[in-house]
Chain A
Amino acid sequence: MGEVIMSGFDRTELVRVSKTIDRPAIRLYAEITDDFNPIHVDPDFAATTPMRGIIAHGMLSLNLIWQSLRATYGPGAAQGARLEVRFVRPVRENDTVSAGGRIKDAGGRLYDVVVENQNGEPVITGTLTLGA
């Protein structure tokens, strides 16, 4: 990932980043967050739900938006930022998700952001407002 620190917020698009969400990743995220909802970690239980299988924690994929911001503006860019999202579609194990963003107000600090799966379907949508 790029580590270039920009002197100002002047990019119309955020750098796109991606990650494959496999079962070990979901398990590790559950351990880090103490969120062992069986829909995420128990394939037998998950198979009985309307999802018909394991889905990833929404906030696991949400991190890709923060990574996209960092890849664009450097590691300090999240200070003062406001990220507001909707989880619009589940992420299944072994999905590859990618995140990016596009400026919403010219010259401003507001970006439309999205995380998409490998089929180009949005799984998370929202806005990211950069700090001063």
Chain B
Amino acid sequence: MFLFETFEPGKTIGSRTLTLSAELLQRWLTLFPDDHDGERMPPGMTAAVYSRAYSDILQPRPPGNVHGQQLFTIAKLPVVGDTLVTELRCEGKELKGERRWVRFASETRRQDGTLMFSGLMTTLWAK
């Protein structure tokens, strides 16, 4: 179980690989039809790529975490068929009274090493 005490600031927690499929893109477009841009991934899907890595790497984790803040910086948007490697790192953690805040940094690179996008997530971590 990933607990607040588990996290070590500065330490890489893990990475996950995802190949952007036409099927996943199509599901996104079912939800957001206006995002169609050929085979290029819509920018909002950065959250999907990140969330899939986060959800898979941080297992098990306590239920009830609350998403407080998010930063995304997009260098380049992937296209269908790109294989993306997302690395997750604990950027920091802070105890404010009863509240346990954890910051996660992420970098998503194409398989050839090209940085595609990065993120910084601040989460109120549940017990």
* A residues with CB within 8 A of B: 1, 17, 19, 25, 28-29, 31-35, 37-39, 49, 57-59, 62-63, 66-67, 69-71, 75, 78-87, 131
Contact = CB atoms under 8 A, between A and B. Distances in A.
Interface in B26-54: 27-28, 30-32, 34-35, 37, 40, 42-44, 47-48, 51-52
B35 A33 contact: no
Contacts of B48: 32-33
Given A33-B48, A34-B51, A78 B71 contact: no
Contacts of A62: 44, 47, 70
A32 B52 CA distance: 8
Contacts of A71: 34
Size class of the contact patch on chain B: 20 to 34
Interface string B73-91: 1111100000000000000
Chain B interface mostly = mixed
Nearest to A71: B34
Nearest to B35: A67
A93 to B, nearest CB: 14
Contacts of B76: 79
A63 B32 contact: yes
Given A78-B43, A78-B74, A79-B76, A86 B69 contact: yes
B57 to A, nearest CB: 11
Nearest to A26: B31
A32 B43 contact: no
15 contacts: A1-B34, A17-B34, A29-B31, A32-B31, A32-B48, A33-B48, A37-B63, A49-B64, A59-B67, A63-B42, A70-B43, A82-B74, A85-B71, A86-B69, A87-B67
B56 interface: yes
Given A33-B48, A81-B43, A85-B70, 13 more contacts: A28-B31, A34-B52, A37-B65, A38-B63, A57-B51, A59-B51, A62-B70, A63-B47, A67-B35, A79-B77, A82-B74, A86-B68, A131-B74
Contacts of B56: 34
